Structure 1
Amino acid sequence: MGEPAPLAVAYDEGAVSPAEIAVGVAGLAPVAFVLPHSPHVRKLRPVLSRLGRVVQLTGRPERDAVLLRRLAPAGVLTFSESLLRVTAGLARTLGLPHHTPEVAEVLTDKYRQRERLAAAGVDTVRCRPVPDVAAWEAALSAVGLPAVVKPVHGQGSRGTFAVHDRADADRVRSRLFDGPEDTWVVEELLRGRPSGPFGDYVSVETATGPDGTEVLAVTGKHPLTPPFRETGQFWPAALPHEDREAVSDLAVRAVTALGVTTGVCHTEVKLTPGGPRIIEVNGRLGGHLNELSRRACGVDLVRVAALLALGAPPPPAPAPPGRVYFQFNGLAPVRPGRLRALTGGDEIRRLEGITGHRPYVRPGDDLPGGVGSVFMDLLTGDAPDHPAMVELLDRALPLLRYEFTDGATTWVESPRRAC
C-alpha cells in the first residue's frame, strides 16, 4: 500500500504557525509545505522540514504546476494572505477545491471587492482607486470626507490612514507614493455606533463547502487604537441576538457574492448607527483565531480548513462558550525604535484569569514604526463575563512595560485599551 496523498499547505507568514498546522492536520493527511522564497520562510525552513515534507516554489507557474502534480496532493490550502492567488492557481491546475483564481483576485483587491459587493446589492461603500498621485484629488472628491486611504493589497492595517479634513489630505498625499505600493484606494469612512468599552466592529468566521456556508462564530473586538490599529479579540462577541443575526447574514451574503465555494473566511463588519456594513472580506482564517477557538470551544479551525480543502462539508457552529475568552496584543510604537527591555510578564501571569503571555519580540529587536498593527506580544485569558474581562485587562495591562530607544532618547510604554 502506498503512502497516503498529502495535504499541500502553501506557507508563509500568516494567520497560524507551522506547529498549529501540524497539530490541526494530524491524522487527516501528511503535510507538504509549499514554500515561496521569503525571509520568513528562510528563517523557519528547518522547523518546517521537521514537521512535514517541503516543496520549494520556483515562482514560475508552469514549473510549479509540474512540481505539484508530482506531489499529487489530496487538497491544497493556505493561511497566508500573500499566497491566496498562488494557491488558487495551483488548485485550479490540480482540479482541487479552493478559491478560483478569479475569486482570489477579488478577495485580495480591495477596490474590486467593493465593486463586486455593490454590484450584488450586498453593501455599497463609496470607493475609488488611486493608481497614481494625479488621481488623488478626483478620488477624494468622489468619495468625500471623512475618508480612509489604504493599499489595494495589504493586511494588518498596514499603510492605512484616516482623512478628516484638507490638512489630513495634504499630509497623507505626501506619503502615498514614497513606499513600494503603486495603487491605493480611497473609501468612505464608516462611522461606528457607540459601543461602550468594546470595539465598534466585529468579525464573522465562516466555513464554506459543498453544502453551502455556515457561520462558525462572531468575534468581538477591543477598540481600535488610532488610526486603525487592532489590539485583540474575544469570544463570544458582546452583541444582542438580533445584531448577531444581522452581521452573520451580511457576512454570508458577502462571501456568496464574491464567489467563495470552499474554505474559511474572515469578514470584518462595522457596527454603524444604520446597521452593519462590510469593512472587508478576507479569504482565509483570521490571525490568532485558532488559538482563541481552541480555548473557547475546543474547535481547531486549522483542522476545519483542512477538512474543507479535502472536500468535506462545513461543520455546524460550535456551542457558544460559557465564559468570555480573550486575547490582547500590545502594539509596537508608531515611531521607529529598538526594544531594550520587556518586563512585567511574570507579574501578569500571576493574575487570576490570565492564562498566558507570549512575547513576539526580544530585547535588541528593531521595530520599524508606522501605523500598521505590529504586535509586541499576545496576552490570553478568560473571565466570567464581558465586564469582568474589561476589569481584568485594566488591571493587567499596566503591569507590562516596554522600554524603547531610538539612539537619542529612551522611553517606556505600557499597552492599554483604547477608548
Structure 2
Amino acid sequence: MAIVVVYDQGAASPREIIGRLGTSEPVVVVLADSGHARQVRPLLEENCAGLVSLADGDDAVVARLRAVGAKGILTFSERMLTDTALLAERLDLPYNSPETVKGLTDKSLQRRRLHEAGVDAVRSVVVTATGQWPDALAQVGLPAVVKPVRGEGSRNTVRVTDPDRGAAVIEEFLRAEPALVVEEFLEGADWAPFGDYVSVESAVTSDGTRHFAVTGKLPLAPPFRESGQFWPAPLPPEQEAEVVALADGALRALGVTHGLVHTEIKLTPAGPRLIEVNGRLGGNQADLATRAAGLDLVALAGELALGRSVPLTPVRPERVHFQCYTPGPTSGGLLERVDGAAEVRALPGITAYRPAVRPGTLLAGGTGTALLDMTCGSADNHQGMIALVEQARGRLAYEFTVDGRRVLRTAQDLLVNP
C-alpha cells in the first residue's frame, strides 16, 4: 500500500511530507513539471518510496502508480488540484471529482454554483477582453475586485474604485492572465485591531464534514495580502456558528466529498459572506494547528486520503497562538539585509522567527503575497497577542536595493505602504 502526493509548491513542504506522511504508509510523489519541483526533486528522490514526473505523461504516471499499489492520493498545492482529481479518477481512488475541482479552482464557476444553490449572491462577471470592462462595471458596480479566474496568493488581485483605473487594470492583467473575474467588493465590518475576515478549516469524508477550527486573521496588507492568522478567532459563539454554517453550505453546494478544505469568509455589517472556498490545506495552517492543539494536519490529510475515519472535534485552545508575516514590497528589489531578528526571537511569548527569503534574493514584486518572514508565538488572550505582534514588528527592518537605490523599510511600513 502506498500514499500518493501530487507535489508542487503549496501548504506543505517536502520535509513535512516526508516526515509526517512517511510514518503511516510509503510515500510516492508525483512531481509537477515546474522549476520549484525540479529544485526539490533530489530531496524527494532520496527520502520517498518512489517518484514519477507528470512530464512523463499521464499514461506512464498511472501505470507506475498502479504498479506500486496506490491506495490514496492527495495534494497540498492549489495548482495541482486538477491533476490530482484526474489521476484519482483513473486510479479509482477516493477524491473530489474533476467536476467538483473545477468549482474549487475556477473562481467564476464557484460563484455561479454558490449563487445557483442560494448560498451566496456576490455579483461576479468574467472578463477575457478589455472591451468587456464597461459591461462588467455596469453589472458589478464600484468598488469592485479584479482577480484571475484561476490564481493563488493574491496574484494580480486589486480593489478598483475608479472606472478609468479599472480599465487600466484589466488591460494590464490580461497580458498575464487568460481570464479575469470582476466581482463585488465586500465591505468588512470594523474588527480592528483584527482583520475583517476569517477562515473555516474543515475535514470532509464519506462519513460527513467536520469543521474543526475557525481561524482569526490580522488585517490585510494592501492590496489583498495576508499579514497573519491565529487560533482561536475572536468571534462570539453565535457569530462563529453563522460562519461555520455558511462554510458548510458552500461545501455542500460545490459537491465537496473529500479531504481538507479552507474556506475564507468576510465579516460584513450584514453578516458573513463568502470570499472563496479552497480545496486543500490552508497556507501555514499545519504549523498553527501543531502549536495550538497538537494537531498534525499533514498526517491527517494522509489518513483522509486513505479513507480512514478520523475523529475531530472543534479546536479552541486556551491561549491565543499566532503567526504574523511581513510582505515584501510590491515594487520588488534586492533584499540586502534584515535587522532585528535576534531581538524578535528574544521576546517573551515568541516561539520562532523564520525568514522566508535570505539576503541576496531578488524579489519580483507585484500584488501577490510574497512573504519575507513569519513570526510565531502565543499569548494569554487576544489583546496580549496584538501587543506582542506590535512589539515584534517594531523590531524588524529590511534594506533593499530598488532601481539602484538603497531603501530601508520597517515591517510596519511594508504593511501600510506596500
Shorter-chain TM-score tier: over 0.9
Matched residue, 1:363? 359
In structure 2, do the counterparts of structure 1 residues 407 and 147 end up closer, same or farther at CA, with 3 Å as the change threshold?
closer
CA distance in 1, matches of 2:399, 2:334: 8
Contact 2:188 2:268 in 1 (8 A): yes
What is the one-letter code of the residue matched to 1:260?
V
CA distance in 1, matches of 2:238, 2:319: 20
**Unaligned runs of at least 5 residues, structure 2:** none
Matched residue, 1:404? 400
CA distance in 2, matches of 1:214, 1:170: 43
Is 1:257 aligned to 2:253, yes or no? yes
CA distance in 1, matches of 2:134, 2:314: 48
Which of residues 156, 163, 166 in structure 2 aligns to 1:166?
163
Moved more, 306-315 or 205-214: 306-315
Count of residue correspondences? 414
What is the one-letter code of the residue matched to 2:80?
L
Question: Cα offset for 1:320?
Answer: 1.4
Matches within 5 A, 1:176-191: 176-179=173-176, 181-191=177-187
Is 1:69 aligned to 2:102, yes or no? no
SS in 1 for 2:99: helix
Matched residue, 1:133? 130
Matched residue, 1:11? 7
CA distance in 2, matches of 1:134, 1:60: 38
Which of residues 10, 20, 28 in structure 1 aligns to 2:16?
20
Is 1:91 aligned to 2:54, yes or no? no
CA distance in 2, matches of 1:313, 1:127: 38
Contact 2:133 2:167 in 1 (8 A): no
Which of residues 226, 238, 244 in structure 2 aligns to 1:242?
238
Q: Residues 178-224 of structure 1, C-alpha deviation per residue, up to 9 Å, x if partnerless?
A: 22x11001000011001020000000000000111000100000000
CA distance in 2, matches of 1:82, 1:107: 11
Q: Residues 45-70 of structure 1, C-alpha deviation per residue, up to 9 Å, x if partnerless?
A: 11112221212223633333223222
What is the one-letter code of the residue matched to 1:382?
S
Matched residue, 2:195? 199
What is the one-letter code of the residue matched to 1:12?
D
Moved more, 194-203 or 136-145: 136-145
Matched residue, 2:38? 42
RMSD of Structure 2 on Structure 1 (CA): 1.4
In the TM superposition, structure 1's runs of 4+ consecutive aligned residues that sit over 4 Å from their partners are none
What is the one-letter code of the residue matched to 2:305?
A
CA distance in 2, matches of 1:341, 1:380: 21
In structure 2, do the counterparts of structure 1 residues 10 and 191 end up closer, same or farther at CA, with 3 Å as the change threshold?
same
Q: Normalising to structure 1: TM-score of the pair?
A: 0.96
Question: Cα offset for 1:22?
Answer: 2.1
Contact 2:86 2:98 in 1 (8 A): yes
**Unaligned runs of at least 5 residues, structure 1:** none
Is 1:100 aligned to 2:93, yes or no? no
CA distance in 2, matches of 1:251, 1:84: 20
Question: Cα offset for 1:318?
Answer: 4.7
Moved more, 186-195 or 170-179: 170-179
Indicate the percent of aligned positions where both proteins have the same amino acid: 47
Contact 1:231 1:329 in 2 (8 A): yes
SS in 2 for 1:315: coil
Q: Residues 72-118 of structure 1, C-alpha deviation per residue, up to 9 Å, x if partnerless?
A: 21100000000000000000111111111111111000000000101
Is 1:384 aligned to 2:380, yes or no? yes
Contact 1:213 1:314 in 2 (8 A): no
What is the one-letter code of the residue matched to 2:356?
Y
